[in-house]
Amino acid sequence: MKILLLGYGKMGKTIEKIALERGHSIVGKIDLQNRSEMDNLGKEDVDVAIEFSSPESAYSNITYCLKKGWPIVCGTTGWLEHRAEIEQLCADQQGSFFYASNYSIGVNLFFRLNRHLAKLMNGQGYQASMTEIHHIHKLDAPSGTAITLAEGVAAENSAVQGWKLAPEDEGGFITIKAEREGEVPGTHIIRYESDVDTIEISHTAHNRAGFALGAVVSAEWLPGRQGVFGMDDLLKI
């Protein structure tokens, strides 16, 4: 499979390593310095693009790929105010678009656990909060994973209307504390507190390999499909 990498930071390099190990070829490694090189690639030169760039670049990269007819897997967060436009463009172009806030299999199982716990906590009088910890290079806060978790809590727990980024703290919302430390790949902690006890669930990533493998597996799955997809479609959960 011919893969185009959009974004060639630490995640892009990890994706490249795993893709090559799985027998794929890399037809381009695009970042801000050489973005014009995409213009030299035709529709048949790319089987799928994998996008892990920055919030500022993601929207234009996704738009470019859909108009070019390339299936695209995106893991960049912080651009979702444009998601409705991208989904409409994908439909108009009869394209293929795969988005996940987190490509780790473990995190996606954690998403399901989070929703189940939120449902169990309905009406029990606990205050929900969250802490997410990432490396100092991460540009958006809270993380896309944290937002997905918060939306899952709000969907299942009638006491939670949405989320607020700390230090904002308002009743009816889950407060997210975003911390940036060293080279931490990603830690997410969901906490329910009452006067008598605290219940916590957490997920801690040990490295980027799990995220990168999930992105490559998604890229293997996407070509030949039409529409907008996510990890629930890939994992059938």
Q: What percent of the chain has pLDDT over 70?
A: 100
Q: Binding site annotation covers 102?
A: yes
Of the pLDDT bands very low, low, confident and very high (cuts 50, 70, 90), residue 171 is: confident
What CATH number matches the domain at 2-103+209-235, 3.40.50.2000, 3.40.50.720, 3.90.1150.110, 3.40.30.10? 3.40.50.720
> 112-121, 160-169, 222-231 — which is least confidently predicted?
160-169
- Please write the tens of the pLDDT for every residue from 51-84: 999 999 999 999 999 999 999 999 998 899 999 9
Of the pLDDT bands very low, low, confident and very high (cuts 50, 70, 90), residue 167 is: confident
In the DSSP assignment, the letter for residue 166 is T
Beta bridge partners of 6: 30, 51
Mean pLDDT of 194-200: 97
Question: What stretches of 28-125 show up as alpha helix (H) in DSSP?
Answer: 55-68, 83-93, 105-120
Of the pLDDT bands very low, low, confident and very high (cuts 50, 70, 90), residue 173 is: very high
User: Which residues are annotated as catalytic?
Assistant: 134, 138
Alpha-carbon span 55 to 69, nearest angstrom? 22
Are 84 and 59 in contact by the 8 Å Cβ rule? The answer is no
The pLDDT of residue 88 = 98
Q: Binding site annotation covers 180?
A: no
Q: Binding site annotation covers 61?
A: no
The pLDDT of residue 169 = 79
Burial call 143-162: b when 16+ CB within 10 Å, e when fewer: bbbbbbbbbbbbebbebbee
> What fold is seen in the domain 105-204?
Dihydrodipicolinate Reductase; domain 2 (3.30.360)
Q: Binding site annotation covers 116?
A: no
Of the pLDDT bands very low, low, confident and very high (cuts 50, 70, 90), residue 237 is: low
Name the residue with tokens 């937002």.
147
Alpha-carbon span 110 to 185, nearest angstrom? 16
Domain ranges of the chain: 2-103+209-235, 105-204
Alpha-carbon span 58 to 52, nearest angstrom? 8
- Please write the tens of the pLDDT for every residue from 103-154: 998 999 999 999 999 999 999 999 999 999 999 988 889 998 999 999 999 9
Q: Binding site annotation covers 155?
A: no
> 17-21, 83-87, 138-142 — which is least confidently predicted?
138-142
